[in-house]
Amino acid sequence: MSSSPTFTATIEKIIERTPETRSFFLRVVNGQKLSFLPGQFLSFLLPISGQTLTRAYTIASVPEEEGCFEICLNQVRGGPGSAYLFSLKETDLLCFTGPWGTFVLDQPLDTEYIFIADRVGVVPFRPMIARLLTTKGPHPARLLYAAPQARDVLYAAEWQKWECQRARFSFRPLTDQCEPEKYSIERVLLPYIEQHFVKEARPRSRQFYICGIGRPVLLLRDLLRGAGYERQAVKYEKW
Ligand SMILES: Cc1cc2nc3c(=O)[nH]c(=O)nc-3n(C[C@H](O)[C@H](O)[C@H](O)COP(=O)(O)OP(=O)(O)OC[C@H]3O[C@@H](n4cnc5c(N)ncnc54)[C@H](O)[C@@H]3O)c2cc1C
């Protein structure tokens, strides 16, 4: 990362999206507007036990929104960064650098977009899909969203609203019907991807974006690239 100024933001609002997931609505203190691309993240500098830990959080809101911007995160068992953020309250301050990252929506291509999300990994897709749906052209977009249970599907009402309003967007929640500890992306997502995008006949002309937690993201990437999709057609971000 190259150097970037450090921003300070006030936490204006915190909302609980699920028992383990919260959105923080932040406003830069000097009133400066944050410029970013859909899919980019910020690096938060967290003062924990006398040290500064750096943790990345993707911007969940769209660049065009005035005022506050949103990050959305879940509490990771034993994780110092998320535990610190979950201990904060409205009016507290946070420091960050950024925006960073190249996992962004390219100039819309004349092809179908498939967004594959694992749990809170859906966050970058909210601004990306919003941007895609406001650009002219056919660009059909599908969101395949894996989560342990229906109650863990973030922004569900929004995806459903977009699906009703836009013929070119479809939303497919894939839930495991299990407790979060037993959830397995391999069980939920891999068979679906294999059936719909690997075993089917060619041509391989789609743009994939994958975002999620840990090694399964790489399994999905390799499955698609191994099936003949171009390297550039399978973009991913692993948290
Ligand atoms: C580019 C980028 C963008 C990110 N954006 C977000 C975001 O928008 N929202 C968000 O919740 N997290 C996001 N993360 C993850 C975040 O930076 C932290 O890793 C996460 O909050 C855990 O930090 P921690 O200190 O609590 O736990 P740590 O002790 O650092 O635990 C890290 C372990 O938890 C796993 N992990 C990382 N993220 C999660 C998660 N969300 N749920 C469960 N396990 C996880 C990691 O694979 C690793 O094994 C992002 C990471 C990257 C690299």
pLDDT digits 0-9 by tens, 27-84: 999 888 899 999 999 999 999 999 999 999 999 999 988 889 999 999 999 999 999 9
Query: With contact defined as beta carbons under 8 Å apart, do 68 and 27 qualify?
Result: yes
Per-residue confidence (pLDDT) for residue 185, from 0 to 100: 83
For residue 237, report the distance from its CA to the centre of ligand 1, in Å: 12
- For residue 31, what pLDDT is reported? 83
Residues 136 and 215 in one domain: yes
Q: What is the pLDDT of residue 116?
A: 98
Closest CA to 88 of 176, 13, 193, 194: 13
Q: Classify 124 as helix, strand or coil.
A: coil
Residue 148 is part of which domain span?
Answer: 112-238
Is 105 part of a structural domain of the chain? no
Q: How far is the CA of 146 from the centre of ligand 1 (A)?
A: 17
Is residue 106 a part of any domain in this protein? no
**Backbone conformation region of residue 214, classed left if phi is above 0, alpha if psi is from -120 to 50, else beta:** left
Alpha carbon nearest to ligand 1 atom 4, residue: 57
Query: Is residue 76 lining ligand 1, measured as CB closer than 6 Å?
Result: yes
How many angstroms is it from 172 CA to the middle of ligand 1? 24
Is 13 found in the same domain as 64? yes
Q: Which helix (H) or strand (E) holds 148?
A: none
CATH code (residue 86): 2.40.30.10
Listed as ranges, residues in the chain with pLDDT below 50 are: none
Is residue 178 a part of any domain in this protein? yes
The answer on 73 and 121 residing in a single domain is no
Query: How confident is the model at residue 2, as a pLDDT?
Result: 54
Q: Is residue 11 part of a domain?
A: yes
Residue 132: give its domain's CATH number.
3.40.50.80
Task: Give yes or no: residues 180 and 214 share one domain.
Answer: yes
Q: Mark whether 126 and 164 lie in a shared domain.
A: yes
Residues 93 and 138 both lie in one domain? no
Q: Are residues 188 and 118 in the same domain?
A: yes
Q: What pLDDT sits at residue 91?
A: 98
Question: Does 118 lie in the same domain as 82?
Answer: no
Q: What's the chain's length in residues? A: 239
| Same domain assignment for residues 58 and 160 | no
Say what the pLDDT of residue 1 is. Answer: 53
Same domain, 143 and 231: yes
Largest CA distance in the chain: 57
The answer to pTM > 0.75 is yes
pLDDT at residue number 204: 82
Q: How many domains are there within the chain?
A: 2
Shared-domain flag, residues 120 and 229: yes
Cα–Cα nearest to 126, from 98, 159, 152, 160: 159
- What is the model's pLDDT at position 107? 78
Beta carbons of 60 and 70 less than 8 angstroms apart: yes
- The structure tokens listed for 233 are 């057609």
CA of 239 to the centre of ligand 1 (A): 5
Residue nearest to atom 31 of ligand 1 (CA): 79
Q: Tell me if 73 CB under 6 Å of ligand 1.
A: yes
Ligand 1 atom nearest the C-alpha of 21 is 11
Residues 142, 167: one domain?
Answer: yes
